[in-house]
Structure formats: C-alpha cells, structure tokens
Amino acid sequence: MLQDYLFPETISEAVSFLQNNEGQARIIAGGTDLLLDIPEGKVKTNCLVDINRISELKKITMEDGVIYIGAAVTHNQVAGSELIQEKAAALACAASCVGSHQVRNSATVAGNVCNAQPAADTAVALVALGATVEIATPDGTQYALVEKTYAGVGKSTIDSTCQLVTRVSFPAARKNQGTAFVRLHQRNALALPMLNVAVMVELAGGRFKWARICMAPVGPGPMRALSAEQALKDAEITPEVIEKASRAVLEHANPRNSALRGSKEYRTSVLPVLVRRALEQAVANAGGTCN
Amino acid sequence: MKEYKVIGQSVRRLDAVEKATGTAGFTSDMKLPGMLYGKVLRSPHPHARIVGIDTSEAEKLPGVKAVATYKNTPRELFNTSATMTFTVPPMLPVLDQYIFDNVVRYVGDEVAAVAATSEKIAEAALGLIKVEYELLPAVYDPKEALTPGAPVIHESEKKNIPGEIIQIPYGDVDKGFTESDIIIEKEFKLPVQKQAQMETQAAVAQVGLDGKITVWSTTQTPHPTKMILSKVFSIPESKIRVLNPPYIGGGFGVRIGCSAKAEPIAVALSMLAKKPVKVVYSRKEDFIASDTRHGGYVSVKLGAKKDGAFHAMYLKATLNGGAYCSFSVETPGVLGCMGLAVYRVPNQLYYGHSVYTNTTPAGAMRGFGNPQAMYAIESVVDMMAEKLGMDPLKLRLKNIMQVGDPWVLPYRCGSTGLAECIEKGAKSIGWENRGKLNKPGARKLRGIGMGVGTHVSNAWPFCGDYDNAYITVQQDGSVHLASGVPDMGTGTSTSLPQLVAEVVGVGLDQVSMTFADTASTPFDIGSHASRTLYAAGTAVVEAARDVRKQVLEYAADLFKVAPERLVLQDGVISAASQDAGAVGDNCSGAPVCKIGGVEKKSITLKELAYDAHLRNKQFIGVGRIVPDNAPPWHAHFAEVEVDTELCQVRVLKVAAVHDVGKAIHPVICEGQIEGGVLQGIGYALSEEIKYDEKGRQLENSFHKYMLLTADDVPEIEAMLVESNDPTGPFGAKGVGECGLVPTAPAIVNAIYDATGIRFYEIPVTEEKIFKALKEHVK
C-alpha cells in the first residue's frame, strides 16, 4: 500500500531515500507504466521517489561529442529537441512514436529503458546508437550499455528500489554517420509496435565502415543483428548488399506468434523489409546514396 | 427556394459551452447522498451451470451493503434491448435473459453483484464470492452452432435460432436467375465490431420509500427503458422515472433499451441495500459484456442481363447473435430490407437470421445490419461490372432505385439524390484516374473504389415507432420544448430547437428544450434508427405549428383580423398588408391591436404571452405523430495505398456524399458523416473482437482493439445533397448511421483496384493481406 511520495532535490538525496526504505521504495519519473502497474498489483511499493524536481536530470546536453539525456527528460522533449533530431534522428523518431501525445508529455526515455519491455521504441533506438546508462547506487556511480540491461522480458538489471538511472548517453552522429528508425504498427498512436528497427551506420567512400542494427520484438529485449552487421562491415553500399544484409537479420530474430500483433510467419517475412528501409534511410541520413 | 431563418444554418450548438468546459452532466459524474457503488462478478467460462454460490464471506466484509445473485433478484425473463417494448404482433419479442441466472452463457455473463460504500470494497467483495461451476460445451461460430449436436444455448430455442427467420420474397427469384446472362455468387465473412462509445454503460438507481424508482442512466431510449424496468420489477410505469443526466457519452446503438444490464443491476442492488447505487462498467466490462455488432456470414447471388440490367438477387445472412437475443431478430431483418432496396432488381429473395453462440451478445450498432449487407453486395456489384466489362460507376447508375420505383419496403421511395451523390463523389476522388495510378513494378499500389447504399429514417415498419412533443410558450414569450429523445452527442438538443424557432417564428435564443426524462416529457421511442431529427422532429414541428396557430388565433382577436392575415416573425406579430386580401377585415390601413389600452401596429410575442397570462391562458402546442419513413442515400469513394511489402493499407482519402433530404444543421450532418466514415474505415481494416479457444475476448480494451485514433484520420470530404423528401421535417431524412454503410465496400473495392486481390473477409488486416499476396503470387 502506497504511504509516502517523496521529492528529492538531488541525486544523492534520491538514493538515500531509497536506502532508508530498504527496498520498499521505488523511483517514479513519468509514471505512465508504474501508475498502471501499482493498482493491478504488478508492482508492490509503499513509497514512491519522484525525481522530477532534480534539476540536473531534466536536461539534454552535449559535451565533447557525447549527448546526455537526463532521467527526467520526456519523450516529447527528446522528439522535439533540435540537437537530437540532428545528431540522433533515430531516437527523435522513436520518441515520437510512443503512445500518444499525452503519454509522451509525461513518459521519460530513461523510464522506457528501465521498464525493460522487449520492444520499447526509444530503447531500440538507443541500442543502435550504442548508448550507455549512468546509474547512481549507494556504492557509487555505475555504467552499463543499454543493451546489457535486459534480464528477461520486462526485467531490468537496474533495480529501481535501490538504484537510480541518472542519464543516458551516446556519441552524437558525426559527419558520415547516419541513423534511422522504422516502425510497423496497426495505427498511428496508442499502438505497440508489431516490429521496430533502428540502425546506425558510418560510411566511408561509398562503403559502409560499420553498421549497428537493432530490432524488436524478436527476443527478450532489443536484439542486435550481429551477422547482418558483420556482412555490412566495409561492404560497398549497393541495393544488393543492403538486401542481403537485411535478410541476414533473421539469424538473430525470433518473433513470436501474436493473435493481436501478427503471426511469426508474417513478422519474419516483413522484418527484412523494415531493416532494408531503415538502412536506406540511415545511409541517406549520413549523406550517402544507395546506388 | 424558400428562405429559412434558423434551419439550414450551422448555428453554435446549444450544448457547446457546457461540453467544452467539462460541466455537462453525464451518468458517470453522478453522486447522491449515501450513494453506494455496485460491482459485477462475471463468468470466466463461456458456458457453465452454477451448481453452488456462496456469498457469505462477501456479505461479512465491512462496507458491503448488498449482494445480489439469481437467488434474491426477480426471476422475470426480459430482453435488455427495447425490442421487448415495441415488437408488433404477430411477431413476439424474444425474452431470454434474467438479471442473474444459474447458467452463464458467455465469458463476462453476470453471476452476482455487490453494493458497497466504495468501489474498492465492492471489488474486494467480488473476490470473496465462491462460485462452483459445472462446465458445459461451448460453440462460437454461428454455422457450427447450427449443426446437429451443437450445444444448445437456450432450452427454449433448440435450434439455436432466436425468434423468427426473416424471409423477403419479391418477384420470382428462380425464374430470374434462369433468365440472367451472368450470375455471380459469393460468401463474405464479417467481424464483430464494437461501438466503442466514449462513456461506458452506467446507471444510478434510487429506490424511494414511497416505492418510486428513479434511474439516471446512459440509455438512448428512456421511455422504453422505463417499460423494461417496470416489467422486470413488477412496478407501475408511472412510478418509474428514467432520465439521462442530461447527456450521454455516445451510443451508436449500444443502449437502445437498457445500458447492457447497468439499470436492472443498479435497481436490484438499490432495492436490497435501500440506498442509491451507482453501477459504471469498466472499459473491459463494456467490451466483453455489452452488445456488439453482429459478425457472421452474408452471401450474395446476383444475376444480370448482358446489358448490365440486374435481374435477380438472392441475399442470405447467418449472423452471430451471441449468447442472448437483444436485437438479433430485427438486425437480420434490416440487413435484408436495406440490401434489397438499393437496386431495381425485379426478382429477389432474402433469407436471414441470427444464431445463438457462447459469445458476447450482438445487438444494435450504427447501421444495424446494413453495413454487413452492403459490404457483400457492393463487392459483388464491382465483380459484376468487371465481368460485364462495364465501369462499376455506370453499372450502378444504370440500376439504382428511382423515385416511385416498386421495391420491397412497405413505404414509398419518395426521394433520391443518389445519382447526384455518385457524380459529386466521382469528381472529388478523380474517378477518371482509376486504373492509371501505378507505375509498373511499384511496391506501393494505389487504387480507387466506390460503394453506395441507403438506410432508414426511423424504425417503422420494423417495429412500433411514434413520437410526441409539447411546446409551451412561457409567460414572457420564450418557448419551451419537451421531447423524450436524448442527445447522445448527435446534436438533437440543438437541431430540434432549430425546428421550433423556425416554425414558431422566434429567435433560437428564445427556445429551450427538456429532453430524455420520462417524468417531464411525453412518450418517445427514443434515439436510434437515424430517426431523432426525422421522426421526433416531425412531432416537434407539429407541436410548433399547433402553438403558433394558438398564438395567432389569440392575436387575431386583438387585431380584429383573420389569423391567416397575421405574421409571426422574429418574435413579433403583425398583420400582412392589405393586398393579402384576408377575409373579415374592413380596415383600410394596416390593422392595429389594442393591448393595455395602447394601439400598436405590431406586438411582440412577449407582450402577447403576458397579456394571455393575465387573462388566465397559456399556449400549449402538442405534436403526436406516427412517422412515415424515407430513404437517405449515400455514395462513398475511397482512395487507398497498399504497401505490398509490409502488407498494409493506408486510406488516403474518402469522398462521402450524402442525400440528407434537407440539412437542418449542415455542420452536424457533416460531423455525423465524418464519424461514420472513420468507424467504417475501422470496420474495413482494423476493428474486430476475436475469441480464443476458451471463449475469451482477445480485444477487450482500447489498447488492444484497433479503433482509429485522431492521428489516423485521412482526408475526408463530406458533401451534402438535398433531395427534399416529402415526408420529413422541412424535407430532412436520417443521417446518423449512413456514414458507416458504404465505407467498407468502397475501401475493399479500392484495394482490389490497387492489387487485383478481392477480400471476402474483413477487416483487411496485415495478416490477411500477407496471406492473400502469398496466394496471389503462386
């Protein structure tokens, strides 16, 4: 039963509030998932620690080519940020696809990661961007790749009863680098993705220098298409190469049969199309062409 | 053309400020002193007998004031829909429901209910009720439910067919097919669609110590609902008051009669607890335990001559009625009547009925069988055009019904603007580009399609249907209208006062309306069948004429002229000039009226009404009518883009042209059409409730049910055609349901135009396109 609702003003205060409640308290940021889970009994807590008054968590900044998104930054702030649109187009696009306008005004990107749903749009984009989360713990600051924070479906390695994600960071796209996000859904708002794909590429002289491809929901968390990435490494940018790599993603994809969001067969069939479109967009975003 | 002062104008809606500021009253906002909260225990099984039910633990929970089950509530069979109040002999209404029964027939069926001091306590108490079920075999598909040995869902209906089988013969259909040059026959499968109205089913019941019952609820038909409750609880209708508070958050047919079982459960709990009880369905309850559209099967066999003249049609419907009858007799009836009324076909036959299954009951939903009919018929008409090598638009123009044509309906086709609708829509969509939109090898294919249809403007002759209204001139000359219809968002609380203002001759700002309350309005059958403006409006016009006549007769005495010489306009009464040549008037100049010792050439209604008041008189106009019926007509054109790689359809534009007879409030008409188009797009592409192998509804929330959102709205061009029907108020016909009727066929025909693939089952989801494209390539 919820008894207390606390507003820490610093990160250390937030962590100590968690500590004082010995595992019974948990962090709340946007609350768009948590406030549904608590009445349904999926989450039990007697104290919520609201991080929205910690001013340093509310900023999007760039230092030395690295972009930092504070844990209290909402989806709409990310989607509307010129910096993100320019330097991480995939993330801006992913953030604009989540839920509805009202949800995006409240829900945070860090929360999207911590909630650990397999197809969380911004998490998929962040994995493609090679993002890292910074975690404040009683034992000091820890870092983890977003990709490594999945402990199973809906389970995060981050423990919100004693740890606080303070920010998410990733290198801003440089010249010759491009990103893209594509999403397959049954309607344009308030729909979970049937599939979503994010990619980041670096180009050099008509070739891919490297590519990172992330896709979901085809596994317990956002999944990297490692063999496709391997196939693109130093490969010439041609429609044939892209087509071949797009088909190779299936080696790392295991979509489920869903009565609501498409059969395994359908999703397996269209996933390469989405990857191809994402790669084409990312190449264009990086200033390259596919011919 | 006559110039009107108030009608035909898109005046600001009289409910606009209330609704925009969130102050308008709805049932779910209600709060009464001492009010308890009711919650319902629902069956987890699709078909089972309750062999034991123990409520003792629930009753012990502090805060629980009543627990209702089949053991302590009336054992009176009824039907939650208004069918039980207006089915006309020799037809008999199907009564197949109790408030609670000892057999449950679908997942979500009512088992028990609790009234407690808070929703939380009521919810907790439900968990303490112990129910022992004996599981019974279940069936979900209507065709399966018709096979020998299928589980019997109601002992009274051994064949699982509720009520009558509807058969409509016309001409000689066998001979017609023999004489036809080309025959096409196809079967179509239809989904279960949900009304998805904004406000869930809700009722607040207050049982007084004097035996009177007041029920505030979301019903679309307060007067028939009063009749249902009277029957269920054996209480005189005069002691039951049913009202909306005064608004309803949408309806789309889901509460013609009771709001699912919200009213009877609230009354039953209130009787047990002796306190007011509020029952508001959760969205999940609304999805699984209130009427849906009928899914099922419709087949069409169409025969034509070589020149394209339709010669024979056989239409057959096997609808999934779900676990209880609701409107399962009338829906296949309207499906058949509307399906046979669009084209001139000399030889026709319709055969249709519903089938009981262990699914959520199907009842009324916007279109009432007509969208089911027209998806199938308009698909087959397009196929016929292709076989004949004719433009499907020209084939339709050749065969559509004309004024005065004989048809199956027992009223006259008194007006049609369908040809004009088709021409306008074709121009808007660019019909001439059909077939020329795609470059060879394109992966995204565009296509254009069309569909047409008609509908009703009220429910007669499918059931009893009549209206009353009365109008009083207040002592200051302002005008009050009382009509028993609700305003479920369709704007009747604006458009009916518009009629009053126009007929009486006063400004709209002088008119006020009481509605949706059985205690303060005369009987009206309610808001359904696209009837409110047409049918209730006819009663309102009659009442307004009556009151105007009384006013002018009274004024005639003062002016000393014949009433025919007097004009009442903008709230001012004066005599028409001499050359009007009225009888009994010998004055040379304009007549004057003497009021309060002063002579005036004109007087205001305000002065006149007060004069009458001082002489002990009020003007009370009464309208009591049995409406005729009239066919609205509509043509929809859709342009779509099919992404053949992702197997998705995007609707780019819908041109929706409607013959509304006369638009009393054009913007309200256009809004109705746009809303209908969106529900039609959902019907065609995404909306569906499916069942798992345990009889559970897969789509039971807005999250899972793919209703279109504001972000999914394509370009819609809604256009009005005014054919001026001779029977409607100022020529108006129904419009409310029409937008849904021809939308799905227009889209499915457009998908065919784009891809060459015809879909015999809707909604055309990604999965269906995926499978069809795979087959197509083979």
Please tell me whether residues A149 and A195 are part of one structural domain: no
Chains A & B: contacts with CB separation below 8 Å: 50
Q: Does domain B295-460+629-777 have CATH number 3.30.365.10?
A: yes
Output the pLDDT for position B587: 47
Residue of chain A whose Cα is closest to the Cα of B644: A270
Taking contacts as CB-CB distances below 8 angstroms, the residues of chain B near A260 are 698-699, 704
Q: Which of A187, A259, A270 sits opposite B706 (nearest CB)?
A: A187
Bridge partners (DSSP) of residue A201 are A178, A211
Average pLDDT for residues B745-751, to the nearest whole number?
Answer: 98
Contact residues for B287 (Cβ-Cβ < 8 A; gap 6+): B194, B689, B697, B699, B700, B701, B705
Query: Which residues from chain B sit within 8 angstroms of residue A266, using beta carbons?
Result: 647, 766-767, 770
For A187, which of B699, B712, B770 is closest by C-beta distance? B712
Asked whether residue A151 falls in the same domain as residue A181, the answer is: no
Is A40 part of the contact surface with chain B (CB cutoff 8 Å)?
Answer: no
Pair A133, A99 in one domain: yes
| Peptide bond between residue B90 and the one before it cis (omega within 30 degrees of 0) | yes
A61 assigned to some structural domain: yes
Inspect the interface and report whether the beta carbons of A187 and B767 lie closer than 8 Å. no
Structure confidence at residue A291 (pLDDT)? 62
**Considering only CA atoms, which of B254, B54, B48 is closest in space to residue B679?**
B254
Backbone angles phi, psi at A214, to 5 degrees: -125, 140
Mean of the pLDDT values across residues B452-463? Answer: 93
Cβ neighbours, 10 Å, residue B271: 19
The strands making up A223-224's β-sheet, listed across from edge to edge, are A177-184, A195-204, A207-216, A223-224
Give the C-alpha separation, B332 to A70, whole Å: 59
Supply the pLDDT for residue B553: 97
Average pLDDT over every residue of B354-376:
98
Of A115, A143, A171, the one marking the end of a domain is A171
Question: Phi and psi (nearest 5°) for B536?
Answer: -60, -35
List pLDDT tens digits, range A56-95. Answer: 999 999 999 999 999 999 999 999 999 999 999 999 999 9
Q: Which chain A residue has its CA at the smallest distance from B685's CA?
A: A186
What per-residue confidence (pLDDT) applies to B579? 53
Question: How many CB atoms are closer than 10 A to CB B731?
Answer: 19
Q: Which helix (H) or strand (E) holds B356?
A: strand B347-356
Tell me the residues of B at the A interface, defined by beta carbons under 8 Å apart: 645-648, 686, 690, 692, 698-699, 702-704, 706-712, 765-767, 770
Task: Indicate whether A107 and A231 sit together in one domain.
Answer: no
Is there a shared CATH topology between the B295-460+629-777 domain and the B467-524+532-625 domain? yes
The bridge status of strand A155-156 relative to strand A207-216 is: unpaired
pLDDT per residue as tens digits for the range A115-146: 999 999 999 999 999 999 999 999 999 999 99
**Mean pLDDT confidence for B719-730:** 97
CB B16 within 8 A of CB B23: no
User: Which residue in the set A188, A190, A269 is minimally distant from B770, CB to CB?
Assistant: A269
Q: Domain check: are A142 and A17 in the same one?
A: yes
Q: Which residue blocks in B591-711 are alpha helix, DSSP H?
A: 605-614, 666-685
Across all residues in chain A, what is the average pLDDT?
96
Residue B717: predicted pLDDT: 98
A274 CB neighbours in chain B (<8 A) are 646
pLDDT at B581 (0 to 100): 47
Contact, A201 vs A211, CB < 8 A? yes
For residues A185 and A279, state if they share a domain.
yes
The CB density around residue A176, as the number of other CB atoms within 10 Å, is: 14
- Average pLDDT for A200-215: 97
**Closest residue, chain B, to A262 (C-alpha):** B767
A140-154, B31-45, B589-603, range with the lowest pLDDT = B589-603
Judgement on whether residues A43 and A164 belong to the same structural domain of the protein: yes
pLDDT tens, position by position, A167-205: 999 999 999 999 999 999 999 999 999 999 999 999 999
Mean pLDDT of chain B: 96
* Residue pLDDT, tens place only, B472-513: 999 999 999 999 999 999 999 999 999 999 999 999 999 999
Domain covering B467-524+532-625, topology: Aldehyde Oxidoreductase; domain 4 (3.30.365)
* Average pLDDT score over residue span A155-174: 96
Structural domain ending residue among the three candidates A135, A156, A171: A171
Average pLDDT estimate for B536-557:
97
According to the model, what pLDDT value does residue A289 have? 84
Domain end point (choices A171, A199, A217): A171
Residue B583 confidence (pLDDT) above 60: no
Cα B73 to Cα B98: distance, rounded to the nearest angstrom: 9
Asked if A190 is an interface residue toward chain B (Cβ–Cβ < 8 A), one would say yes
A185 and A149, same structural domain? Answer: no
At residue B585, the pLDDT reads 46
Cβ contacts of A262 on chain B, cutoff 8 Å:
766-767
Cβ <8 Å between A189 and B647: no
Residue B349, token pair as written in the block: 């036959």
pLDDT of residue A217: 97
Per the domain annotation, does A279 fall within a domain?
yes
Per the structure, the complete domain to which residue A161 belongs is given by: 4-171
- Distance CA(B202)–CA(B280), nearest Å, equals 4
Cα radius of gyration (chain B): 28
Q: Determine the Cα angle at B690 with ends B686 and B696, to 5°.
A: 145
Mutation for testing the B interface, residue in A182, A266, A268, A274 having most B CBs under 10 Å: A266
Q: Over B659-672, what HEC string results? A: ECCCCCCHHHHHHH
Smallest CA–CA distance, residue B53 to chain A, in Å, is 26
CA distance B206 to B190: 41
Whether A157 and A220 share a structural domain: no
pLDDT at residue B596, as a whole number: 74
Domain ranges of chain B: 18-23+33-136+196-289, 295-460+629-777, 467-524+532-625
pLDDT band at A290 (very low <50, low <70, confident <90, very high): confident
**Tens-place pLDDT, residues A248-266:** 999 999 999 999 999 999 9
Please check the confidence at residue A152 and state whether its pLDDT lies above 80: yes
- Could you tell me the CATH number of the domain that includes residue A268? 3.30.390.50
pLDDT tens readout for residues B59-88? 999 999 999 999 999 999 999 999 999 999
Integer-rounded Cα Rg, in Å, for chain A is 19
A189 and A227 assigned to the same domain? yes
- Contact assignment for A184 to B648 by CB distance below 8 Å: yes
Model confidence over A7-55: pLDDT tens digits?
999 999 999 999 999 899 999 999 999 999 998 889 999 999 999 999 9
ipTM given for this complex:
0.95
Distance CA B624, CA B224 (A): 17
How many angstroms away from the CA of B292 is the closest CA of chain A? 19
How far apart are the CA of B247 and the nearest CA of chain A, in angstroms? 26
Topology, domain B18-23+33-136+196-289: Aldehyde Oxidoreductase; domain 3 (3.90.1170)
Structure tokens at B706: 């793919």
Using a CB–CB cutoff of 8 Å, tell me whether A1 touches chain B. no
B449, B394, B316: which is closest to B742 by C-alpha? B449
A270 and B645 in contact by Cβ < 8 A?
yes
Tokens describing residue B164: 């009558």
pLDDT category, B586, cuts 50, 70, 90?
A: very low
User: How many domains, in total, are found in chain A?
Assistant: 2
